[in-house]
Amino acid sequence: MTKSHPSRLLIVDDEVQIRRLLRVALETEAYEVHEAATGQLGLSEAAGVHPDGIVLDLGLPDLDGREVLRRLREWSQVPVLVLTVRDGEEDKIAALDAGADDYLTKPFSRRELLARLRAVLRRTQPSSEETIVRFSDVEIDFAARIVRRAGAEVKLTAKEYDLLRYLAQHRGRVVTHQQILRELWGANAEDSTHYLRVYMTHLRQKLEPEPRAPKFLQTESGVGYRLVES
Amino acid sequence: MSTTRRTVDTPPAPPSSWKEYVFAAVVVTAITTAGLLLPESYYVSVGLIYLLAIVLLCLRVGRGPVLMAGVLSAFVWEYIFIPPHFSFAINSLQDRLLFGTYFVVSLVAGQLTARIRAQAQNERLREQRATALFHLTRALAEAKTLDDAVFVALQQMDELFGAQTSLTLADENRTALIPHFASSYSLEGKERATADWVFRHQHNAGRFTDTPQASAGCYLPLVRENETIGVLGVKVPPDHTLTHAQQNLLEAFARQLALSVEREHLRAASEREKLLAESEKLHRALFDSVSHELRTPLAVINASADSLSGADANLRGQLVNEIRTAVRRLNRLVGNLLNQSRLESGTLKPRLDWCDAGDIVNAAVESTSDALAGHPLTIAMPEDMPPVWADFALTEHVLANLLLNAANHTPPATPIFLTTGLEPGGQRIFFAVADHGLGFSPAMRGRLFKKFIQDDATSTAGLGLGLAIVRGFTVAQGGEVVAGENPGGGAMITVYLPHPSPKAAVQA
């Protein structure tokens, strides 16, 4: 993927080794990298250098990562990718609720890191009014509300289309069950994940090459879903 | 309140009732009336008939009535029948001798009777005591726990002595007394003080003892090997008393109880020792396997990193793959250790939600793909598989551990089967992982789900935490794990999760 303009990134992590590795991985992708070792430094650095994106470790020595997120969100909407060693989905959901755009569990691969970063950075990049999103052999035409697979139109119910559209708009990023339910069913429907499962199964059957082992409409263990483009 | 000790070696004969006196008087009166019908010269025969009646009375009534009958009949005989009639005077020497002999014989007869009756009574008491002791020892032997035993023993004593009983046992340091819950009265004030005194001095105290205290009860120490291990208290109502035999019985009871308590102490001590040895063994095993499991991948990473510089592109690719595999293995291991500690800390709270069974299976297969390599995996899931009510992450760990377990304990390239579906009846969802390995040895099956347990013969990898986590996570979700045989040979472990009906909150 070619970049029109290199993005400025801030890494907030107390582990020197992680910072070093991230710097190597990101600089080879032409990102401009800044570092901070503590939450406080991270916050002042964020105010000083105005990064286009932040990679934030949740386990910081001075401030809890979520607290950093909360303070950051008081004045900035900069995309944040959270790094965590914690497996528990509660922590991930809590970070997402606190304003993180996505998360990555340590240990992670370089490929994953770059894909996630690209996806969270896209949120603030001026999208050229995309009306068509493609993944696999599927093409979603937002303007015409039409979904094609290998050129042929796929019949989707209204809810299936809404679900697909929501995932496509956030493609590459995790969306939690709660976010989807709020978006599709309104504020009071946060418990009806049962229906969400059923719609997702239908969508996969209609769009995935192998619905049993979905490649594009992925499940994030206990957290939500993610539409992956490749 | 009497606190003097009673010293009666043979128990007193039971007091005769007034009926016996009346009966004896009636007999004497009847013979007298009959005698009056006889000619006057038959007065010696009448005397013999009186004597016969006295001897026969001995068989029926107690000492008092016999003595009464003897004295009464002697005087009636002398007054009415011995000449001169209706006078206490006796004329001839022969009659005096006759009267004297009669008087002595009747008194002796009465005395003998009393002794025989007392002996019989004694015999009966001995038997009662033997029976009571027999019942006690049997109850103590049958009791499964000390509490059961004490409960039975105290209940028996309550009934036997018509008393209230209390038992206090020494604590572990042998410094204080702890009341036993089966006691029928609680020790307070003076009673408590007396019990404590008994505990310290290892000597009886209280009522009926030679060291009376200001307490209403009588307290006996339970002594084993010169150590007081408890105090038995008996409180008899103030108007009742304990016979010497009952006091003996009480002491016998105390000895039996002491034996029981000691037996329990010994059992507990040996149990503790066994546990300690077991946990030491466990600790060693854990230490060994943790260091092995952690160091092996670290060694792989280290060696691969060393070889990376100077390796050609092909070798470099291989080395990088080795590192990646080692890292995944380490990561899984750390995950399982964390999971185990989550289980043990009791902080595990499943977040149940509707999940796609296929998603869970995929995630589990994905996270174990490197370890499963070489084992063909067959996944079977019905077309109409409903969403399952589960904690996604926990269930994923469960399945991943089952798959790893199957892969690690079967020969390379043998197939593994993962089957999931709704049980007939629709009450439960099942996930079954089967293999074509050796199956579980019978000895293995019982301890399968304990942590750090490995079947030594086939152990190749892992900490032995896998199945413990499988069970812990399944049970946390309200499910159940069953280990069985694969019908086609090998082992099969099935995880069942409850399948509630979907909530009827349709909002779509």
Instruction: Find the range with the poorest average confidence among B319-323, B332-336, B351-355, B387-391.
Output: B332-336
- Nearest CA of chain B to the CA of A84: how many Å? 14
Total structural domains in chain B? 3
Neighbours of B70 (CB within 10 A): 27
Residues B162, B221 within the same domain? yes
Given 3.40.50.970, 3.30.450.20, 3.60.90.10, 3.40.50.2300, which CATH number is that of A8-122? Answer: 3.40.50.2300
B118 versus A75: the higher-pLDDT residue is A75
Task: Say yes or no: B187 and B116 in one domain.
Answer: no
Same domain, B114 and B221: no
B59 in any annotated domain: yes
When pLDDT is cut at 50, 70 and 90, the band that residue B171 belongs to is confident
Specify if B110 maps to a domain. Answer: yes
What CA–CA distance (Å, rounded) separates B286 from B477? Answer: 27
pLDDT in tens, B51-84: 888 888 877 787 788 888 888 888 888 888 887 8
Q: Are residues B177 and B201 in the same domain?
A: yes
B205-255 pLDDT per residue, tens: 888 787 777 778 888 888 888 888 888 888 888 777 777 777 888 888 888
The answer to whether residue B334 is domain-embedded is no
> What distance, in Å, lies between the first and last C-alpha atoms of chain B?
86
Name the helix (H) or strand (E) containing B321.
helix B313-345
How many contiguous H segments (helices) and E segments (strands) does chain A have? 8, 12
Residues 6+ apart with CB under 8 A from B297: B326, B327, B329, B330, B333
Q: Where are the domains of chain A?
A: 8-122, 132-227
Q: What is the dihedral of CA B94, B97, B102, B107, to 10 degrees?
A: 170
Mark which of B72, B101, B133 sits at the end of a domain: B133
Q: Using CA atoms in the order B26, B32, B36, B41, what is the torsion angle rounded to 10 degrees?
A: 160
Do the Cβ atoms of A82 and A95 come closer than 8 Å?
yes
Interface of B with A in 187-246 (CB under 8 A): none
Residue among A107, A197, A219 minimizing CB distance to B387: A197
- Predicted local distance difference test score (pLDDT) of residue B462: 55
| Domain finish residue from B246, B268, B290 | B268
Q: Smallest CA–CA separation between B169 and chain A, in Å?
A: 49
Domain range holding B164? 145-268
Domain spanning A132-227, CATH architecture:
Orthogonal Bundle (1.10)
What does the pLDDT look like over A53-67, one tens digit per residue?
Answer: 999 998 888 888 889
Amino acid making up residue B361: V
Structure tokens at B335: 């995950």
Q: Are B418 and B403 in contact (CB under 8 A)?
A: yes
B274-278 mean pLDDT: 82
Among the listed ranges A34-38, A155-159, B61-65, B406-410, which one has the minimum average pLDDT value? B61-65
Residue A16 · residue A36 · CB < 8 Å: no
* Cα–Cα distance measured from residue B237 to residue B176, given in angstroms and rounded to the nearest whole number: 28
Q: Do A221 and B381 touch (CB under 8 A)?
A: no
Last residue of a domain, one of B242, B268, B294: B268
CB contact under 8 A, B396 and A192: no
- For residue B436, is it within any domain? yes
Query: In this predicted model, what pLDDT tens digit does every residue of B291-304 receive, in sequence order?
Result: 777 888 898 898 88
CA quadruple B297, B303, B309, B314: dihedral sign: negative
Contact A114, A29 (CB under 8 A): yes
Please check whether residues B162 and B124 belong to one and the same domain: no
pLDDT score of B506 more than 50:
no
Token couple for A92: 């991930």
CA distance B486 to chain A (A): 25
Mean pLDDT, residues B180-190: 80
Q: Which of A180, A173, A36, A196 is nearest to A92 (CA)?
A: A173
Q: Is the pLDDT of residue B281 over 50?
A: yes
Residue B161 shares a structural domain with residue B58: no
Q: Which carries the bigger pLDDT value, residue B221 or residue A192?
A: B221
> Residue B453 has what pLDDT?
58
Predicted local distance difference test score (pLDDT) of residue B205? 85
Q: What percent of chain B has pLDDT over 70?
A: 90
The token pair at B385 is 């598989």
Q: How far apart are CA A217 and CA B426, in angstroms?
A: 28
For residue B417, the model assigns a pLDDT of 93
Q: Does B443 touch chain A (CB under 8 A)?
A: no
Residues of B in contact with A200 (CB under 8 A): 356
Which chain A residues touch B363 with a CB distance below 8 Å?
A: 219, 221
B-interface mutation test, from A221, A225, A226, A228, most B Cβ less than 10 A away: A221
